[in-house]
Structure 1
Amino acid sequence: MTTVSRTGIDIVSRRVMPPGSHLVLTVLLRVTTHHPEEDVDLTGQLHRLVAEAGIAEGSVHLYCGHTTCGLLVNEPEAGLEDDTSRALERLLPHSDHHPYAHGRHRGPEERSHHGERDNGHSHLRTMLATHPELHIPITNGALHLGRWQAVVLAEHDGPRTRELLLRVHDDLARPA
């Protein structure tokens, strides 16, 4: 079952760009997951960063540089998350229950070096159910999300610590 987390999001670095730049803010976020399958709602943190950027019209670009977790926009409702978890388990069972070719060629030394467990299912679930990056509009100084939409990191191979790169762009910036 997927576990919903609303904590474990830290700002690793923050760089505010000079006035007049279309790129206003760059932030490196660290997200710590605690379960093998976990959804982390990033929406509150993104709202705070957009407010800090202080722009009226623009966009947020969020990038996840990992292959066993990804990003999505959906309703963070427990029933939907349970349904998604069960559907992914039927479609792509956990590696402990089904042999995947991924990682089989690695010897014990390489497996030890990478610290990897059998996670073929995690790679495939990420490919099918998430995106590596999202581009979200900012309108009237706020994220332009639908009533039930949230920005979520979907972990498929936890527990792990993940890093996300966020950039806030100002569509109305004028060169200084």
Structure 2
Amino acid sequence: MPHQQILSFTTRPRATRDITADVAAVVRAAGIDCGLAHVFVQHTSCSLLITENADPDVRRDLETVFARLAPDGDPAYRHDLEGDDDMAAHARSVLSDVSLTVPVGGGRLLLGTWQGIFLWEHRAHGHTRSVVVTVLP
């Protein structure tokens, strides 16, 4: 039987938040031995990623890369209703992703040794973000 839960997180500006333990708790609550955990963020200016969880410099460097790819206030942007970071945040979300899927085995997430699941805020201000976790057998 599928299991679904919506999680709420408060983010910091242009930062990642480790949500691995929260997603793992939903998987445990599902009571499913083998299947998939699908994680989806219900917003267009933040994203999800699986990346290294040991060295925070990796996530800082990713922010640097994305600042180069989608800079705030680019005069070529037409969509700027919510400020200089508006279109840049949407572009960063599209360049990364708003959903991911992780295999479940033995009732737990089958992440690699150095992998974590992160919510990545792309706006210049923190927000409250909703993340849907669906566990399927």
Cα separation, partners in 2 of 1:152 and 1:53, compared to 1, 3 Å: same
Q: Residues 12-62 of structure 1: CA distance to partner in whole angstroms, max 9, x if unpaired?
A: xxxxxxxxx3x1x21111111132x01011101111221222221111111
Counterpart CA distance in 1 for 2:106 and 2:61 is 35
Counterpart CA distance in 2 for 1:102 and 1:153 is 27
Give the aligned partner of residue 47 of structure 2: 70
In 1, are the aligned partners of 2:26 and 2:133 still within 8 Å (CA)?
Answer: no
Q: Which amino acid in structure 2 is aligned with residue 149 of structure 1?
A: Q
Give the aligned partner of residue 86 of structure 1: 64
In 2, are the aligned partners of 1:54 and 1:141 still within 8 Å (CA)?
Answer: yes
Cα separation, partners in 2 of 1:64 and 1:102, compared to 1, 3 Å: farther
1:17-28 equivalent positions in 2, closer than 5 A = 21=1, 23=2, 25-28=3-6
5+ long unaligned stretches in structure 2: none
Q: Residues 135-172 of structure 1: CA distance to partner in whole angstroms, max 9, x if unpaired?
A: 111011110111111111111013111111111112xx
1:1-176 equivalent positions in 2, closer than 5 A = 21=1, 23=2, 25-35=3-13, 37-76=14-53, 77-95=55-73, 98-104=74-80, 111=81, 116-118=82-84, 119-128=86-95, 130-157=96-123, 158-170=125-137
Cα separation, partners in 2 of 1:84 and 1:155, compared to 1, 3 Å: same
In 2, are the aligned partners of 1:74 and 1:150 still within 8 Å (CA)?
Answer: yes
Taking only the aligned residue pairs, the percentage that are identical comes to 31
* Displacement of 1:91: 2.3
Q: Residues 102-125 of structure 1: CA distance to partner in whole angstroms, max 9, x if unpaired?
A: 325xxxxxx5xxxx2231111111
Counterpart CA distance in 2 for 1:91 and 1:101 is 13
Q: Which amino acid in structure 2 is aligned with residue 33 of structure 1?
A: T
RMSD: 1.5
In 2, are the aligned partners of 1:100 and 1:120 still within 8 Å (CA)?
Answer: no
* Displacement of 1:100: 4.1
| Structure with bigger gyration radius | 1
Could you list the structure 1 runs, at least 4 aligned residues long, displaced by more than 4 angstroms after superposition.
Answer: none
5+ long unaligned stretches in structure 1: 1-20, 105-110, 171-176
Counterpart CA distance in 1 for 2:71 and 2:99 is 25
In 2, are the aligned partners of 1:100 and 1:121 still within 8 Å (CA)?
Answer: no
